[in-house]
């Protein structure tokens, strides 16, 4: 009696799973088998929350979780990188400070490939969103200087990204002069930024972390003497 072997697509290789943000895990892998690559349609990832040991969480503890198994279909074009043999995909909106395992397999013209199962990966704990402190202004003639203290919570965690400042509800472009985290201060020329402004200003600042934007600071209000806009 003859037996025919059914071809099976290969398993993802060299799989990496890393927590890269609050409720976020980045997956990457390779596919070295040419037959699988030539018939590749898409990838499938199944996300399963687990205990730290890798054991599945009992159903009665998952009642507030929308779905114990979250299945994601990943198009090949969305994960392959130019000049990079690895495939990349970011899983978002996971629970903070929770263990997960990820099942990854390829879907090809000949059917589903073998699954790769990652080790339990723990997502980051919730990152605090801190408020800047001691926001103050010093103004002279048509220029003014803003300074403040960094948020305590972000300072402790080291997750700072950048600052965002508005004056009279107008965002200031700080890309070329972004204040440092440790010594946050910025010198502003009102005559350059606000050629049509008349004297009164209200400014706010907030810090961004990897978790997102923090709350706005308490505003500072000040008045500049009128100046000749034509000069």
| Per-residue model confidence (pLDDT) at position 186 | 65
| Per-residue model confidence (pLDDT) at position 129 | 66
Domains of the chain, each with CATH number or no CATH: 13-122 (2.60.40.10), 133-223 (2.60.40.10)
Q: Tell me the pLDDT tens digit for each residue of 192-230.
A: 556 555 567 788 888 877 666 778 888 888 776 655 444
| Per-residue model confidence (pLDDT) at position 60 | 44
Distances (CA, A) of 87 to 74, 95, 180: 10, 24, 35
Q: Which of 84, 87, 85, 106 is nearest to 36 (CA)?
A: 106
Per the rule left: phi > 0, alpha: psi between -120 and 50, beta: everything else, 40 is beta
Q: How far is residue 137's CA from residue 93's CA, in Å, rounded to a whole number?
A: 39
| Per-residue model confidence (pLDDT) at position 89 | 84
91 close to 45: Cβ distance less than 8 angstroms: yes
How many contiguous H segments (helices) and E segments (strands) does the chain have? 4, 18
Q: Tell me the pLDDT tens digit for each residue of 102-113.
A: 888 888 777 777
- Which residue numbers in the chain have pLDDT < 50? 2, 4-6, 60-69, 155-156, 228-231
Is the Cα torsion angle 91, 97, 98, 103 positive or negative in sign?
A: positive
DSSP 216: P
């Amino acid at each position: 009696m003859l037996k025919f072997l059914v071809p099976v697509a290969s398993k993802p290789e060299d799989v990496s799973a890393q927590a890269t943000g609050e409720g976020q895990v980045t997956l990457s892998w390779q596919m070295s088998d040419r037959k699988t690559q030539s018939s590749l349609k898409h990838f499938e990832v199944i996300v399963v929350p687990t205990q730290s040991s890798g054991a599945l969480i009992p159903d009665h503890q998952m009642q507030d979780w929308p779905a114990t198994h979250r299945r994601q279909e990943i198009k090949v074009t969305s994960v392959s990188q130019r000049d990079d043999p690895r495939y990349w995909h970011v899983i978002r909106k996971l629970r903070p400070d929770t263990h997960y395992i990820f099942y990854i397999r390829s879907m090809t013209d000949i059917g589903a490939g073998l699954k790769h199962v990652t080790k339990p990966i723990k997502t980051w704990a919730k990152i605090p969103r801190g408020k800047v402190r001691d926001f103050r202004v010093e103004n002279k003639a048509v220029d003014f200087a803003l300074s403040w203290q960094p948020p305590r919570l972000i300072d402790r965690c080291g997750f700072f990204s950048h600052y965002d400042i508005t004056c009279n509800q107008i965002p200031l472009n700080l890309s070329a002069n972004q204040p440092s985290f440790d010594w946050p201060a910025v010198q502003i020329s009102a005559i350059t930024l606000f050629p049509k402004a008349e004297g009164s200003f209200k400014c706010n600042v907030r810090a961004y972390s990897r978790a997102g934007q923090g709350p706005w600071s308490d505003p500072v209000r000040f008045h500049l003497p009128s100046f000749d806009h034509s000069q």
